[in-house]
Structure 1
Amino acid sequence: MTSQAQSIIVPTDNELLQAQADLWRHSLYYLKSMALKCVVELGIPTAIHRLGGTASVPDLITAVSLPAGKQQFLGRLMRLLASSGVFTKIDSADEAMYSLTPLSYLLVEEIAADGHIDHSPFLLTVTANHYIDLAMGLADWFKKEEKTPPFDHVHGASLFEESMERKDPEFHKMSRKGLKVHDDFAVDIALREFRDIFQGIKSLTDCCYHGDGTTAKAIAKAFPQMKVTHLDLPQEISKIPADGIVNYVGGDMFKSIPPAQVVILKMVLHHWSDEDCVKILANCRKAIPSRENGGKVLVGDIVLDPTLGPMYETQLLMDVCMMLMKDGRQRDLNDWRELFMKAGFSDFKLISKFGARGVLEAYP
C-alpha cells in the first residue's frame, strides 16, 4: 500500500484549478441539451429563419410571443448556445445578432429545400423524461441482474414497438418521428456521393427497421433500371401506399430476405445485439449471389474511430444512447469484421466515412 501511495502523482495547483473548471463543465453538460430543447420548443430556429436568417433577442421575443421581461434570460441562453456552435453570435453597437449555423438549420421547420428534414423529433425524443429518467437511474440498473435494456426495465415496454404505443401513444409517435429522422436524413447526399457503388446493380433489397420506404424510393428514382424491394414488418408495409416503383414486401429479416444482387442495411444493425446481427447478416448472405456475380451487402452504420476527433465523442454518445434504449451498440472496424466473418462472409471493406457513419461492403 505504501509503495502504491508513493507512486501517485499529486496534481499541481494549476492542474487542480483547471480540473475544477473541467468538472464544472462536465457536470453541467446537460444544461446544453436542455437549453437546446428549450429553444426548439420555443421555435427559435424557425423564427430566425423566418426573420431572414439573422435576429436580435428583442426580435425573437416578439416573434415567438414571449413576455418582454424574459429578454435578458433568453439572451443568456442564446449566448450559451452560440458558444456551443448552435447559433452564430454577431456583436454590434446596438444589439447582438444571432444567425443560424448548419446545426440549427437542421432544427428549422417548413424549409422547402430538397432533402431538408427537421431534426426536432430526434432532439425532443432523446431529451424527453422517458429517456432522461434512464440516464438518471443508470447506476441502479448496473447494480441489478438485468438483461433487458434500461428503457424496457423502467417503462415496461420497448422503444419504437407496439408495447410503447399502447403505454404512451404520444411519446411513441414522437420517437417514431425521431427514428425516421435518424434513418432518412442524407439519403440524397449518399446517392450523390456513392453513385458509383450503385452503377450496374440489377436488383436490390432494402432491409428496414420501422421504415417508410424513403431510401428504397430514392434509389429507384435515381436508378430506374434497378428492381428495388423494400422489406419491413407487415404492419409497417401496410402503412406505405403502393407506388408501382418499389416492390414492398412484408416479412422478417430474422427469417428470410427477398433475393437480390445487393442487400442494404442502413442504420439497422446498431439496434441489435451481436448475436442478432449475425442472424440478420447470415440471411443477407443467403439472399445474394456469389461475389463473381455482383453479390454483396452494403451496410451504412456508425463505425467507431478514435481518429475522428470531436466526431468520435458523438459516436461514443450514440453508443451509450443505444445502451440505454435497445440491445444494440456502436461498433469499430474490428467488431464489424467479427460480425461479417461469423455470418459466413469471405471478406469486407470500409468504402468510405460518411459523417459519423461509415459505408461497408461485405462479400459472400
Structure 2
Amino acid sequence: MSAQLPSIIVPTDAELLQAQADLWRHSLYYLESMALKCAVELGIPTAIYRLGGTASLAGLITALSLPAEKLQCLGRLMRLLASSGVFAMADSTETIYCLTPLSYLLVDGISADGHINHAPFLLTVTSTHYLDLAMGLADWFKKEAKTPPFDHVHGASLFEESMEGLDPEFHKMAIQGLHVHDNFAVDIGLREFRDIFLGINSLTDCCYHGDGSTAKLIAKAFPHIKVTVLDLPKEIQKIPADGVVNYVGGDMFKSIPRAQVVVLKMVLHHWSDEDSVKILANCRKAIPSRQEGGKVIIGDIVLDPASGPIMYETQLLMDVCMMLMKGGRQRDLNDWRDIFTKAGFSDYKLLKKFGARGVLEVYP
C-alpha cells in the first residue's frame, strides 16, 4: 500500500493577501538595485558628503544640476533608498537626507585611511553584462553547458583577457570592482587579527588579479615579516616594485613560493571544489609542519544561517553571484572541512566571523 501523501493546506485569506504583497516585493527587488545604481551614477552620496553630510531635495537638485521638474521623482527615488537603509532621513520640518554607513561606502574622494569607494563593484554587478546572466539563467540550466553562465552568454571569461578584448571599459571596471571587493577592510582585519601574525617570519599572499594592497599593508604593520606576492606574470608586471614586498609571477595551480604561512584572501570562492583542492594542496607543499608554524590563513565567506537573516541572505546572494560569474561557490564550515581534508590538511580552526566573511587557520 502506497504511503499517504500529506494533503495540501490551503492558505487563509490573510496569508494569500500577504503572499501577494510578498510576491510583488520579490518581483520588484531589482528596482532597489537599479535605484541604487542610479543614485551612484548621479553622484548623490558624494553630493551629500560635500554638502556637509545632509541635503534637502532642492539642495540635491542644485548640487547635481538636475532639472527642477525632476524634484518630485527624485524624492520618490530617495524615499525608496531611505526605506532600505541606503540613506537616512533627519528629523526636520523639511525632508533632509543623510548618509548611512552603506552610502558612505559609495562616496568618491574621501581621503581618510582605509576608505574605498565601492562604486566600481556596484556598477559591475548591476551592469547589463551581469543582468543578462540572470535573464538567461533558466536557459543555462536547460543546456549541458560546461562553462559558467558568464562565459556561456558572453563567450568570454570575467576578469580575463578574453573579456578585455570584448569590452575593455567593462573589463577595467570589473577589475576595479574586484579590487574593491578584495581590499576593503584589510586594515580592520590586521587590527582585529593581529595575534595571528605574531611569530611569523615569512608569508606568501596568493592573489587573483590583485594589486598588492594587502601585502603592502601586512608588510607595513609587521616589518619583520618577509612578504611575497604570487600572481599571474601579467598582473605582477602592473605592480610597481617598492623594495618592501617581493613580487613573483607564477600560477598557484602549479606551485607556490615557500613560506611559513600562505594567505588566501577572497580567492577560493572563485573556484570549484576540485580546483580549490589543487590550490590548497600546493599551499600545503609550500609551508613547513605545524610544529614549525606552518599554516594557511583563509579569509572568505563562511555560509552560516546563525549569522542572521540579512547577513545569511547576503552570503547566499554572493553564492549565486559566484555561480553566475566564475562557476565558483561560497561554502559553509562542512564544505570548508571537506576540501581541507581532501587537500591533505590535518586540522583547521575558524578564528572569527568578520562581517559576511570568516577567517580560518588551516594546519598541515
Do structure 1's residue 324 and structure 2's residue 316 form an aligned pair? no
2:361 — aligned with what? 361
**Deviation at 1:200?**
1.3
> Identity across aligned pairs (percent)?
81
> Whole-Å Cα distance in 2 between the matches of residues 199 and 109 of structure 1?
35
> Whole-Å Cα distance in 2 between the matches of residues 92 and 103 of structure 1?
22
**Deviation at 1:90?**
2.1
Residue 154 of structure 1 aligns to a residue in which SS? helix
**Deviation at 1:2?**
12
2:172 — aligned with what? 173
- Residue pairs, 1:184-263, within 5 angstroms: 184-263=183-262
**Deviation at 1:327?**
1.8
2:121 — aligned with what? 122
**Deviation at 1:89?**
1.2
TM-score with structure 1 setting the length: 0.98
> Whole-Å Cα distance in 2 between the matches of residues 244 and 91 of structure 1?
52
Do structure 1's residue 272 and structure 2's residue 268 form an aligned pair? no
Structure 1 unaligned regions, length at least 5: none
2:49 — aligned with what? 49
> Whole-Å Cα distance in 2 between the matches of residues 351 and 195 of structure 1?
12
> Whole-Å Cα distance in 2 between the matches of residues 255 and 353 of structure 1?
31
**Deviation at 1:237?**
0.4
> Whole-Å Cα distance in 1 between the matches of residues 268 and 168 of structure 2?
26
> Whole-Å Cα distance in 1 between the matches of residues 160 and 18 of structure 2?
45
1:13 — aligned with what? 13
1:290 — aligned with what? 289
- Residue pairs, 1:22-61, within 5 angstroms: 22-61=22-61
- Residue pairs, 1:342-353, within 5 angstroms: 342-353=342-353
> Whole-Å Cα distance in 2 between the matches of residues 31 and 212 of structure 1?
33
TM-score with structure 2 setting the length: 0.98
Moved over 6 A (4+): none
| 2:27 partner letter | S
| 2:333 partner letter | L
Root-mean-square deviation (CA), in Å? 1.1
1:67 — aligned with what? 67
| 1:26 partner letter | H
Residue 114 of structure 1 aligns to a residue in which SS? coil
Do structure 1's residue 105 and structure 2's residue 104 form an aligned pair? yes
Residue 344 of structure 2 aligns to a residue in which SS? coil
- Residue pairs, 1:146-185, within 5 angstroms: 146-185=145-184
**Deviation at 1:3?**
5.9
> Whole-Å Cα distance in 2 between the matches of residues 183 and 195 of structure 1?
19
